[in-house]
Amino acid sequence: MTRPTGAALRLTVFIGESDTWHRKPLYTEIVHRARAAGLAGASVFRGIEGFGASSLIHTSRLLSLSEDLPVAVVVVDTEERVRAFLPELDELVTEGMVTLDRCEVIRYVGRGGDRTENQGDPDMKGKKSL
């Protein structure tokens, strides 16, 4: 797994919660493939309301009870690694939208990482950093 810092690329895949790949949620397949590709990480966010190309509004409001809420899968890594992953999405995403945005990674620290205490900086006292 990479540990990006500085300039990076954010990949966002907008799909529906009910979209599937071989009877599994599509978002699960995207996350597992991102992990297998060695990308820095992936997160899935479930929306409470939205619409896409069909203009049909999907919502979590009680009266509507949509079973196809909007979902966003977000991956951030180096531009090279994200662009190398795009062919995987060509196979998986038949409906939805895929976007790329330039971003900057300020901090990327995992649990149990090789972090050290910042003892000399009073603003950072008790906080961990890379």
Cβ atoms of residues 30 and 73 within 8 Å? yes
Instruction: Look at residue 2 in the predicted model and tell me its pLDDT.
Output: 54
| Residue 8: pLDDT over 90 | yes
Distance CA 66, CA 50 (A): 11
Q: For residues 89 and 93, what is the distance between their CA atoms, to the nearest angstrom?
A: 6
Q: Is the pLDDT of residue 87 over 80?
A: yes
What is the residue-averaged pLDDT of the chain? Answer: 82
Share of the chain above pLDDT 70, in %: 73
Q: What are phi and psi of 56, to 5 degrees?
A: -80, 125
Token pair 């060509």 in the structure block, residue: 90
Strand-pair partners of 6:
105
Q: Is residue 3 very low, low, confident or very high in pLDDT (cuts 50, 70, 90)?
A: low
- Give, to the nearest 10 degrees, the angle between helix 79-92 and helix 26-36: 140
Q: Is the pTM of this model over 0.85?
A: no
**Is residue 117 scored above 70 in pLDDT?**
no
Most confident by average pLDDT, 2-6, 79-83, 111-115: 79-83
Residue 93's DSSP bridge partners are none
What distance lies between CA 55 and its chain's CA centroid? 24
How far is it, in rounded angstroms, from Cα 114 to Cα 130? Answer: 7
Average pLDDT for 85-104: 96
